[in-house]
Amino acid sequence: MTNHWIDIRNSDVILIMGSNPASNHPIAFKWITAAMEKGAKVICVDPRFTQSAAKAHIYAPLRSGTDIAFLGGMIRYIIENKLYFEEYVRNYTNATFLVNPEFKLPGDNNGVFSGLTDGKYDKATWSYQTEGDGRIKKDPTMQDPNCVFQLMKKHYSRYTPEVVNKITGTPVDKLIEIYKIYGSTGTPDRAGNELYAMGWTQHTVGTQNIRTMCIIQLLLGNMGIPGGGVAAMRGESNVQGSTDHGLLFHIWPGYLNTPKASLATLAAYNEKETPTTKEPNSLNWQKNKPKYVASFLRAMYGTNASLDEAYNLLPKIDDGANYSWLNLFDVMYKGKFTGFFAWGMNPACSGAHSNKVRQALTRLDWMVNVNLYDNETGSFWRGPGMDPKKIRTEVFMLPCAASIEKEGSIINSGRWNQWRYKAIDPPGVALPDGDICSEIYFKVKELYEKEGGPNMEAITKLSWNYGTKTFDGHYHFDPHSVAKEINGFFLEDKTVENPTKKGEFKEFKKGDPVPTFAWLQDDGSTSSGCWVYCGSYTDKNMSARRDGKKDPTGIGLYPEWAWAWPVNRRIIYNGASVDPSGKPWSAKKAVIKWVGDKWVGDVPDGVGDPGSGRPPFIMKPDGVASLFGPGLADGPFPEHYEPLECPVEKNFLSPQKSNPTIKRFDKPGVGSDVDVYSGIDSCDPKYPFICATYRISEHWQTGLQTRWCPWLSEMQPEMWCEMSKELAKERGISNGDKVIVSSPRGEVECVAIVTPRFKPFNINGNILHEVGIPWHFGWITTKDRQYNPGDKKAEVFTWGDAANLLVPTIGDANTTIPESKAFMVNVVKK
């Protein structure tokens, strides 16, 4: 989130689109309610009439996978009706930048941007015109036909309400009503916020869905202000923290890119990764990257290795390789892995095309399941369709402590790092994940030291000062020592110039914590496990702070409750909340204020002294936010494309039907050539209905933490398929009937729930049906004794298998997230 949960109460208009917080973020929904009590309008756009829709003032249906069309229409409306915040757009975005005249928009280029060959864009034309000295050419009047603003206007001029209606199925009057209300937040005194989660990400255009909203928020001047921003409501309790700390294959902690194999030295990496700019007033904060990289390398290897050696020891990604989820399971399916740690996950149910995932697990020599419970992954070998005698995989179960059975920190969607304490001991031999990890580390190290092996120093030289062997024979790790290492230390005595006050020096002693990331060094004299967390554990554990009363700004920042990254800033991009002379755009909604000689309020982001001319988006090399975003794989402006599996013959906007750059697994050379059913891109009449998977309050994820709870299983005991009354009638299905939902990947038995919450879509005169299925079920808790022989307790648990048996493995062009919110199925009565 750019802002934070409490801040939602400051919004005037809240758009819930791509999520269902009343069900999936029910506690946080109180801040939406608080905003409503102050007069805020709430809009909900979802293919189904959800619990959130029931609370909203306005609900509009849209066909799954068509959000860019819906929002593209909003951009058009905002521009046509001059609802945008012109001064903000001119000064704080790249609207004025002149683009290469060779650049072509999809409207002039058969539905694709210039530069496409073989499913990949050459971005040469997605560039800016420059002056002789390298500065970007600009037109402050935003009239030049090649300036970003005019290109954007032209691009979205195709998204008329009539065309949008043909694509989305949303009635034209609803579109206009929503565009008007949301567009009303383009004035300085009003703020609009958008709440999204998986309804937007799980698409082949997932990243571009969110980009479209960012463009709207920038046009309306909603970034950096209270009640504004784009709210990525995160899912798993600590998913924000794990992403910050390098969970994904392509990023090191703190969003530094994982090095590619071709960047053979630290110098080459820094040269490639450190952005430069010719813009005279831009701060270009990321020029400091080498300091964060050096400090990360020190956190990994301490002084056991030089910086260059540490860089060499860490794994690199082969150029062009992608190690994300779908690819990993594809490679495993092809039998190319020996072993696998399923650590805190249940891919046999959570992974798209679960049949493929389950088959992949049979091709391993060994698998370690680190979990609270046995699950469909650990027990895959005794699941449906499996013959244990024919499966060679050896499975180890390592029972582990649950969140309340261990101490540590957790980072919420608002970037707040909050310390938690252990409430009770874990049962039996279960250990905290950190202890298990430490135990494995020391054993592997011992083996390397005894037997040697390639690149052994990568392990043996690691700095692992997280605890020592104790009386019970385990390497108990101390979460405080990890938290301190994440913050970082000085590794030697050093006198450093104050990064914000020239000529002022500060002395540090070896072992002193680094106060903030501005003090990190590139010469190896500091460490920091994750630079954006530098400042989180200084003289005290900042994340353990619990002052819920102090609110000096009065806008609910509560700066002494826990600690927010970066530098305890609660609203990022707040430098854009003041005008170029330093005055808050709105006195009523001030986040920061200049008083005499300093800024007060939130920790200021990016602003220089008033009148300095420094553009506030300092994380962007040019200092301004991107309406034109050439960083993405599939285009600098979002364009509507149909989901790969789609119910319509054509894209009403262009001859290009689906996103040309998506990750496919059904073509030889780009993934599994054995698995032709990973995604179908024709309108196959055998699978006439759109399907989206979704969540409910009573179950959590693949259900492991809820399906074993009798009281929750009793509330939601069975796998179901939700459908409209009209579809049920067409198929002769009554509420409560057993139905089979099938796709080319598999089938799932469901109970039919016939409701008015789904309504058929009228798509350019064709009636199309969408159905919805939850993805919380799995066979291990099923009543069917076949899978729980002799287990009497199994009777009381749930029935049904995973929704993902149906989901295709097609990935978004930027993130490779599977398209689990828009694929095609058939539904028949059993």
Ligand X SMILES: Nc1nc2c(c(=O)[nH]1)N[C@H]1C(S)=C(S)[C@@H](COP(=O)(O)OP(=O)(O)OC[C@H]3O[C@@H](n4cnc5c(=O)[nH]c(N)nc54)[C@H](O)[C@@H]3O)O[C@H]1N2
46 scored as a contact of ligand X (CB under 6 A): yes
Nearer CB in complex with ligand X: 94/702: 702
Q: How far is CA 347 from the centre of its chain?
A: 18
Nearer CB in complex with ligand X: 33/697: 697
Site size toward ligand X, by CB under 6 A: 54
Q: What are phi and psi of 62, to 5 degrees?
A: -145, 150
Nearer CB in complex with Mo ion: 200/517: 200
Nearer CB in complex with Mo ion: 238/672: 238
Q: What is the DSSP string of 661-713?
A: T-B-SSSTTSS-SS-TTS---S--TTS-EEEEEE--TT--TTSTTTTT-HHHH
Partner that binds at residue 701, options Mo ion, ligand X, none, CB closer than 5 to 8 Å by kind: ligand X
- Interface with ligand X (CB under 6 A), residue from 702, 782, 788, 798: 702
Go through the chain and tell me how many residues it has: 830
The one segment of 168-176, 229-237, 299-307, 434-442 that binds Mo ion by CB under 5 A: 229-237
Site size toward Mo ion, by CB under 5 A: 1
> What is the DSSP-derived secondary structure letter of residue 426?
P
- Interface with ligand X (CB under 6 A), residue from 10, 11, 20, 379: 20
Please report how close the Cβ of residue 436 comes to ligand X at its closest, in angstroms.
8
**What is the pattern of x (binds ligand X, CB under 6 A) and - over residues 355-384?**
---------------xxxx-x---------
- Interface with Mo ion (CB under 5 A), residue from 107, 115, 119, 235: 235
Please report how close the Cβ of residue 762 comes to ligand X at its closest, in angstroms.
17
DSSP helix/strand/coil, 108: helix
Nearer CB in complex with ligand X: 680/771: 771
Helix (H) or strand (E) holding 276: none
Alpha carbon distance 548, 570 (integer Å): 14
- Interface with ligand X (CB under 6 A), residue from 61, 65, 383, 488: 65
Q: Give the dihedral sign, CA 556/558/559/563.
A: negative
346 scored as a contact of ligand X (CB under 6 A): yes
Nearer CB in complex with ligand X: 460/815: 815
Q: What are phi and psi of 17, to 5 degrees?
A: -145, 120
| Strands lying side by side in the sheet with 192-196 | 58-60, 41-45, 13-17, 192-196, 230-232
Q: 10 Å Cβ neighbour count for 427?
A: 11
DSSP helix/strand/coil, 290: helix
Partner that binds at residue 345, options Mo ion, ligand X, none, CB closer than 5 to 8 Å by kind: ligand X
Please report how close the Cβ of residue 349 comes to ligand X at its closest, in angstroms.
7
Q: What are phi and psi of 325, to 5 degrees?
A: -45, -60
Bridge-based pairing state of the strands 823-829 and 563-564: unpaired
Nearer CB in complex with ligand X: 65/580: 65
Bridge-based pairing state of the strands 746-755 and 738-743: antiparallel
Please report how close the Cβ of residue 696 comes to ligand X at its closest, in angstroms.
6
Nearer CB in complex with Mo ion: 115/235: 235
Partner that binds at residue 695, options Mo ion, ligand X, none, CB closer than 5 to 8 Å by kind: ligand X
- Interface with ligand X (CB under 6 A), residue from 193, 350, 516, 577: 350
Buried/exposed code over 202-217 (b: 16+ C-beta within 10 A; e: otherwise): bbbbbbbbbbbbbbbb
Alpha carbon distance 124, 139 (integer Å): 21
- Interface with ligand X (CB under 6 A), residue from 693, 716, 781, 816: 693
Q: Residue 310 in contact with residue 458, Cβ under 8 Å?
A: no
> How far from each other are the two terminal CA atoms of the chain, in whole angstroms?
44
Q: Where are the alpha helices (DSSP H) in 318-432?
A: 325-333, 347-350, 354-361
Beta bridge partners of 232: 196
- Interface with ligand X (CB under 6 A), residue from 14, 307, 400, 607: 400
> What is the DSSP-derived secondary structure letter of residue 532?
G
Please report how close the Cβ of residue 585 comes to ligand X at its closest, in angstroms.
29
CA dihedral angle for residue 779, residue 782, residue 785, residue 786, rounded to 10 degrees: -10
Bridge-based pairing state of the strands 770-774 and 689-694: parallel
**Residue found by looking up tokens 């058009």 in the block:** 76
741 scored as a contact of ligand X (CB under 6 A): no
**CA nearest to 311, candidates 264, 246, 256, 273:** 264
- Interface with ligand X (CB under 6 A), residue from 48, 291, 569, 707: 48
Rg (CA), the chain: 27
Tokens representing residue 121 in the block: 């864009």
Please report how close the Cβ of residue 228 comes to ligand X at its closest, in angstroms.
20
**CA nearest to 1, candidates 236, 234, 238:** 234
Please report how close the Cβ of residue 206 comes to ligand X at its closest, in angstroms.
10
Nearer CB in complex with ligand X: 242/481: 242
344 scored as a contact of Mo ion (CB under 5 A): no
- Report the residue closest to Mo ion, judged by CB: 235
Within 57-116, the residues that bind Mo ion by CB under 5 A are none
Q: What are phi and psi of 291, to 5 degrees?
A: -70, -40
**What is the pattern of x (binds ligand X, CB under 6 A) and - over residues 479-518?**
----------------------------------------
Q: How far is CA 612 from the centre of its chain?
A: 34
- Interface with ligand X (CB under 6 A), residue from 3, 11, 19, 659: 19
Partner that binds at residue 375, options Mo ion, ligand X, none, CB closer than 5 to 8 Å by kind: ligand X
384 scored as a contact of Mo ion (CB under 5 A): no
119 scored as a contact of ligand X (CB under 6 A): no
> What is the DSSP-derived secondary structure letter of residue 89?
H
Alpha carbon distance 510, 504 (integer Å): 20
Please report how close the Cβ of residue 152 comes to ligand X at its closest, in angstroms.
22
821 scored as a contact of ligand X (CB under 6 A): yes
Nearer CB in complex with ligand X: 35/60: 60
Alpha carbon distance 82, 485 (integer Å): 50
Nearer CB in complex with ligand X: 202/521: 202
Residue 65, CA distances (Å) to 46, 52, 144, 688 in order: 10, 19, 33, 16
The one segment of 92-100, 223-231, 438-446, 817-825 that binds ligand X by CB under 6 A: 817-825
Nearer CB in complex with Mo ion: 403/460: 403
Cα–Cα–Cα angle for 105, 111, 115, rounded to 5 degrees: 60
Nearer CB in complex with ligand X: 372/557: 372
Please report how close the Cβ of residue 53 comes to ligand X at its closest, in angstroms.
9
**What is the pattern of x (binds ligand X, CB under 6 A) and - over residues 771-790?**
-x--x---------------
Within 305-344, the residues that bind ligand X by CB under 6 A are 343-344
The one segment of 235-243, 373-381, 457-465, 719-727 that binds Mo ion by CB under 5 A: 235-243
Q: What are phi and psi of 76, to 5 degrees?
A: -60, -45
242 scored as a contact of ligand X (CB under 6 A): no
Alpha carbon distance 348, 331 (integer Å): 15
716 scored as a contact of ligand X (CB under 6 A): no
Residues that bind Mo ion (CB under 5 A): 235
> Footprint of ligand X on this chain (CB under 6 A)?
17-20, 24-25, 45-48, 50, 64-65, 67, 197-199, 202, 235-236, 343-347, 350, 370-373, 375, 400, 402-403, 433, 692-695, 697, 699-702, 704-705, 772, 775, 803-804, 807, 820-822
